[in-house]
Structure 1
Amino acid sequence: MERQEEEDDMVCLDQSFFIDDNYQLTTFTFGSQVLQLLCLQSASTDFDLTGQLVWPGAMLLNDYLSKNAEILQGCTIIELGSGVGITGILCSRFCSEVVLTDHNEEVLKVLNKNIELHASSDNPEYCAGLTAEKLEWGNSEQISQILQKYSRGFDLILGADIYILNCYSFALIIEKQSSITSLFDTVETLLRVRKEGTCKFILAYVSRAKTMDSLVISEATQRKMQINELVGTRSIVGNLEGVIYEVNL
């Protein structure tokens, strides 16, 4: 009887308990490019809702891309872990086609809202070819569905701050190691669609744990990928050290 009463008193929390969708329209400036996006100023790390806000790695990558916009001109791009879409939307001002991806349904909602926001702006040409797709890293079915739609593949794969980590336990390290493996499974599949060397993965990485730093490098080298730090990109963002890597086969 006592056990039954304890079970009756238990409260089971689902994702809806953590969801905050009170997004603020926020202005970001990268060089001459000004973006307005819906995002949160903070978000729950439970149920993988980190994509509801803009992280330092995205700021680092957007700053780099705005200064080197020539590498985007006329390109087709897929972004992994797009979150609210700040990088993909910036790229849409230079690229011919941009596919933004995320796996979290709640994050995909705000991502699509931001796409709609830019489609209704004074310069709708900026979002030409800008679409969102659901993609969980390592999910071969979802990757295949995307490649059926975009059979020619992509010129660039982008990722920024896509494995947020506060490293408190060994179990969490193992979990994130698995996530990095799934990430590179996805990247490798996308890179191989194009002839060797004609597609690149540009990764804005922010160091939060030395263990993770080495895991990213080792995952790429174990797959015989070339991973190179782009000269002049190492900087402090949000009190953390960030750098941009270029990865290819």
Structure 2
Amino acid sequence: MRLRREHRLGPVRLAARTGIAASTAHRVLVRHGLPPLAACDRATGEPIRRYERARPGELVHIDVKKLGRIPDAGGHRTQGRTQGRTQGRTQGRTQGRAQGRRNRTGAGYTYLHTALDDHPRLAYTEHLPDETAATCATFLRRATAWFATHGITIQRVLTDNAWAYTKTTWRATCHQLGITPRWTRPWRPQTNGKVERFHRTLAEEWAHIRPYTSEAQRQAAFPDWLDWYNYHQPHTGIDGQTPASRVTNLSEQHT
């Protein structure tokens, strides 16, 4: 128990330190009522208190995921690592540095901006070229309009403390839309964990699910995946319901 408190160790590493079986270490932790490390705050070791807003619109989580673009004709997944990297470097030299930062393939990045409602987990995502304050602010306007078509009025938005979300542009846009901005506490990224978990699901089930041959092909597949996530796929975080099923006054039915 002392090793767990002081070093944040799980059963396998505790077993190695103490010379007992990992299954025994697990039983000791359970007997003393300690949750898995994944359910604890990494800084304090205290259990993370899960919460959920009572109604749609009370709180919308917003975050950006930077995703490396796929070069034309595909990257190493479709051509093999050596050929994919060579083509990426050639394409990067041809296009030049003037088009902004590049990933290692030379194709640059796309920025996935997501607004996810805390209660139903309904998600709105756009592919945008950057994460500047102006881009984030205009995304919020479109996200607010999209949620409104589903009968949801956004009351609060929660973001991390990234530069774009702390500027006057973001605050002014929230004020104009009648939205209260909120920010996560420093060093507590799990506060915005729902949208980060969505981005992980997005990466696993869409972005990296198969070897796309181009960025255009991958982006073309995204609307169908997002529709599946919102309207058809059971969500384990809401007892197997779909996000759309938790929203009242839907403007249309998806079948």
TM-score, scaled to structure 2? 0.27
Instruction: Indicate the structure whose relative CO is greater, using CA pairs within 8 Å and at least 6 residues apart.
Output: 2
Question: Which one has the bigger strand percentage?
Answer: 1
Q: Name the larger-Rg structure.
A: 2
TM-score, scaled to structure 1? 0.27
Question: Which one has the bigger helix percentage?
Answer: 2
